[in-house]
Amino acid sequence: MRAINNYLVVDKIKEGPKTIAGLIITENIDDENRYARARVISVGDQVTGLEEGEIIQYDKFAGHAITWEENVYMVIKSGDVILVE
């Protein structure tokens, strides 16, 4: 599988439970965070500045899920990436 044009295929990084002063903070409390972390799996031929394997943060409301070889990935546009870690 490989991305084309200005699309990226990414694998979401699932964050473990957060703790503050010994209290476990659930994902529901983190609704204010608009961005999700992911590892880039494939980069389209029109995308510049990103490479496979990089960790990015992108708008979590962008893109759509796709299943390939029993794994679920997200397909997003390069414009939805806000930073590279």
Q: What is the pLDDT of residues 8-30, one digit of tens each?
A: 999 999 876 666 676 666 655 55
**Residue 5, Cβ neighbours under 10 Å: how many?**
10
Taking the chain, what is the end-to-end CA distance rounded to the nearest angstrom? 24
- Residues listed for the chain: 85
DSSP secondary structure letter of residue 5: T
The CATH fold assigned to 7-84 is 10 Kd Chaperonin, Protein Cpn10; Chain O (2.30.33)
Domain map (residue ranges) of the chain: 7-84
The pTM (predicted TM-score) of the whole model is: 0.80
**56 to 11, 37, 78: CA distances (angstroms):** 10, 6, 11
- Which pLDDT score is estimated for 34? 85
The answer to whether residues 59 and 80 touch, using CB atoms and an 8 Å cutoff, is: yes
- What is the identity of the amino acid at 61? F
